[in-house]
Amino acid sequence: MNKIENKEKIALVLSGGGALGAAHIGAMRGLEVKYQPEYFCGTSAGAIVAAALACGMTAADISEFLKQKSLLKVAFDFSFRGSGLIRGKKILELLRQVYDDKNFEDLPKGTKLRICATNFQTGDEVILKSGSIAEAVRASLSVPGIFEPYWLNDEPLVDGGLVANLPLAYALKDYKGDKIFAVDVCSYMSKSYPPENVKRVSVRQSIERSLRIFFLNQQKNTPLDPRLTLVKPNLENFHSADILKLTKIENAGYEAIGLETVI
């Protein structure tokens, strides 16, 4: 029996958060010592990491891939015509490369992957679990105004964070195992406002805090479940566009495992 077979099976639920999603990689570095996820559910940045893990990549693999690729070149794939600033074609190509162009049906037996998106026409939550993994993730990270809606299964899909930035309520119903870890990178914030030694809060800081309040309130009606461990890395000093600080953000995720931020 190998080491993986000896590890406890868990579900892993990962939130959206832009660059803050690098903390998911660090959290998985800490978790994979003892646990082997068999169920993955993610939104936006969390969908990117969840899909990579489901396809067999380790946390170290994902971290190394991010260091090798220029996210700036991918991010600035500008569109000057449609309803979004970024075309998203380069991102889709990169995602196909990351996931070896796999479909959900190609995942190892026993591995389940769920990707959360939003139907931009109806406002409904859409859980993607079949077809192209890259396309599902591309839909889940389509922030309105930044990306055009991604049409999939005849639905205009955008960022799942509009309805469930941490798709925990769905995972609690869908997963039948004994232990669930949910990593929320986007709702931790200081109780003091404005921050100490800050004379004037910037527009970016105001927007960032507003989003964190919005995402925090999304979770208020999440049912209690004894199987759940909610992990909230301390990312107060980082923001969702910090793509030049991915290593520091990743380390914050690692530090959250086993510390008081695990609740």
Active site residues: 44, 159
State which H helix or E strand residue 126 sits in.
Answer: strand 125-128
Q: Residue 214, exposed/middle/buried by CB under 10 A (0-12, 13-18, 19+)?
A: middle
Cα distances from 241 to residues 19, 20, 195, 219, 256, in angstroms, run 6, 8, 20, 23, 21
* C-alpha to C-alpha distance for 163 and 39, rounded to whole angstroms: 21
Residues 6 or more apart in contact with residue 26 via CB below 8 angstroms = 59, 233, 249, 250, 251, 252, 253, 254, 255, 256, 257
The set of long-range contacts for 90-94, using a CB threshold of 8 Å and a minimum separation of 24, is: 91/138, 91/141, 92/134, 92/135, 92/138, 94/69
SS3 assignment, position 131: coil
Q: Residue 125, exposed/middle/buried by CB under 10 A (0-12, 13-18, 19+)?
A: middle
